[in-house]
Structure 1
Amino acid sequence: MLGRNTRWVAGALALVCLLLIGPGAPRDDLPVAAPLPAGAATEIVPNRVMTWNICNPCRGAGRNLGRAADIATYAPQVVGLQEACVRDVEQIKNDLEHVYGLVYHVTYGSVLRNWSRCGGLPWRAGGYGQAILSAAPATDGVTVEYPDGGSEDRGFLAVTTEVAGRPVRVFNTHLAERRQEAVRARQVPVLAKEVARHDRAIVLGDFNAVPDSPELRPMWPLATDADPRCGPSAGGVCEPTTDWQSRFDYVFLRGIEPRAHRVRPSEHSDHHMYYADLAPL
């Protein structure tokens, strides 16, 4: 039987390991990836953009490899991720390249450092917020934190990248939590002001609000959702994008026309993947 001092040392070593690795550190080193489903993309699809709240904290063995497989199945040219830990996105990007042969550039838009979500040392917690994966290089990256994030810091990331051979400004945001309507009403005008500065823009994100919510009103005059049936009218037909059957996730398009859109659930998140195929710019 271990003595008291030995048990204390063992416990201390275990705690140090936890602090160094962190609860959000990748543990997905699976040797073999599951094959992609029939009909999956074989290379990055031009003109396709996706938004996806990847859910954090969500646990489960192989979650990042599974997330990479989900993205690889549809292989968008641009992917906006929310609730993204830098460590998780690094592994997703690595798996996309080395397991599925899809090479992306990544831009991070972390708005806070959170040990409980993203791991790391308590005084050097992992970055948490938004990330954009883009097949073409991204430039002029800007991260804006909303003046009031509500119960958690929130913001948006904006980059300029190439879609269909032409530059376009891409925004990726995550608004305040579901029951914080008044906070979101103060956040949307901050985002809308920046979107209005661009003739062509793609706005991806989890807005935590259904289409006819008052707080989304500043967005609709500027851009339309990739689903032409979905709009601010209460009679609009908007496919749910969450496990609780709410439409919270959007692909807003300004100066760009959609050709098709799809919503696809994932076992790795409580939000569905929502992607759109765009008309040539």
Structure 2
Amino acid sequence: MKRTATVLATTLFAVGLAGPAASAGPPSGGPPPVEITVASYNIHAGIGADGEFDIDRTANAIAETGADVVALQEVDRHWGDRSEYRSVIGELAHELGMHARFAPIYSFDPPQAGDPRREYGTAVLSRFPIADFTNHELTRLSTQGPEAGPQPMPGFAEVVVRARGTLVHVYSTHLDYRGDPSTRETQVAETLDILAADSGAPRVLLGDFNAEPAAPELDPLWTELTDAYGEAGTGEGPTYPAEVPAKRIDYAAVSEEVDVLDAYVPDTDLAATASDHRAVVADVEVPR
């Protein structure tokens, strides 16, 4: 009903029939920008700080953020015992009533013929319709099987969401965790190349970067993107480990088309226990 009323008022204004009440609009005469809440959350496959798998707890922690679009990392789909071979992303989408796209890093044959494939990767949940989806490749070091050296592997999710009259590109990423930053350096360069292909569009990069803001390997990101928490957050905003966080390694970063209104890390009992990371949440504004 609200959308119908808005469209009707706009139409009446256009033909000069709306009257004085409709004349109060943006100074430029154009539509107002769109406010969106985004979040990044490494869900640790639905396993909390107590070591227990509890998908309902994970769903509640996501709901607690109030985010319209949530990028997830460490997401299982029929992966193994730790998540009871369940589709974690499918159940979260159903429980939260959100659209979902899943970008597997690994996709293996099942233990028994006819069972679903064993998959692990990143994902995006959205209250808005999803217009497009791509599972991009980044250079990775595999954690499955013998070490094969850096190689292109999937698992960098990109969705285009239809958010109240505008299209927004949202990405979910999980950068390498190792102490040697060389793989992250390569991944950052590849990430910027992927985002450059969408130049001019509102872009929001969300993810577990496995590095703190001042890490040299992240410097190229901050020449092209704005760190939302660094722009609008209060204090250090650590996200890991969840119970007593000491490092900020989870991010929301935005392109120049996007304004940051607020950013925070949830500080509740649920945020401290539902995963080994806390989420980072940002309120942003994009042109319609």
* TM surpasses 0.5: yes
Stretches of structure 1 lacking an aligned partner (at least 5 in a row): 1-44, 97-102
Alignment match, 1:196: 196
Alignment size in residue pairs: 223
Alignment match, 2:227: 225
Q: Could you say if the C-alpha distance between residues 226 and 206 of structure 1 is closer, same or farther in structure 2, counting changes exceeding 3 Å?
A: same
Q: Which fold has the larger relative contact order, with Cα–Cα distance below 8 Å and residues 6 or more apart in sequence?
A: 2
Task: Tell me which stretches of 4 or more aligned residues in structure 1 moved more than 6 Å.
Answer: none
CA positional deviation for 1:135: 1.1
Structure 2 contact 46–53 (Cα < 8 Å) conserved: no
Alignment match, 2:124: 132
Taking the aligned partners of 2:232 and 2:220, their CA distance within structure 1 comes to 16
1:273 aligns with 2:285: no
Q: Could you say if the C-alpha distance between residues 57 and 181 of structure 1 is closer, same or farther in structure 2, counting changes exceeding 3 Å?
A: farther
Query: Once the two structures are superposed, what CA deviation does each residue of 1:113-143 show, in whole Å capped at 9, x if it has no partner?
Result: 369xxxx526764211011011122132111
Stretches of structure 2 lacking an aligned partner (at least 5 in a row): 1-33, 78-86, 145-152
CA positional deviation for 1:217: 1.7
TM-score normalised per structure 2: 0.70
Structure 1 contact 150–176 (Cα < 8 Å) conserved: no
The structure 1 residue matched to 2:239, chosen from 216, 241, 252, is 241
Alignment match, 1:260: 262
Alignment match, 2:12: none
CA positional deviation for 1:148: 2.9
Taking the aligned partners of 1:90 and 1:222, their CA distance within structure 2 comes to 33
Alignment match, 2:252: 251
The one-letter amino acid of 2:191's match is L
Alignment match, 1:146: 138
Alignment match, 2:207: 205
CA positional deviation for 1:74: 2.4
Structure 1 contact 161–169 (Cα < 8 Å) conserved: yes
CA positional deviation for 1:92: 1.3
Q: Could you say if the C-alpha distance between residues 229 and 257 of structure 1 is closer, same or farther in structure 2, counting changes exceeding 3 Å?
A: closer
Taking the aligned partners of 1:257 and 1:137, their CA distance within structure 2 comes to 22
Percent of residue pairs bearing the same amino acid type: 29
Structure 1 contact 211–230 (Cα < 8 Å) conserved: no
Structure 1 contact 266–273 (Cα < 8 Å) conserved: no
Alignment match, 2:18: none
Structure 1 contact 262–275 (Cα < 8 Å) conserved: yes
Taking the aligned partners of 1:163 and 1:238, their CA distance within structure 2 comes to 30
Taking the aligned partners of 2:65 and 2:251, their CA distance within structure 1 comes to 17
Aligned-pair RMSD on alpha carbons? 2.7
Give the 5 Å matches for 1:113-192.
113=107, 121=111, 125-149=117-141, 151=143, 155-192=155-192
Query: Once the two structures are superposed, what CA deviation does each residue of 1:224-247 show, in whole Å capped at 9, x if it has no partner?
Result: 11123589xxxx963111115111
Alignment match, 2:9: none
CA positional deviation for 1:187: 1.0
Taking the aligned partners of 2:112 and 2:175, their CA distance within structure 1 comes to 26
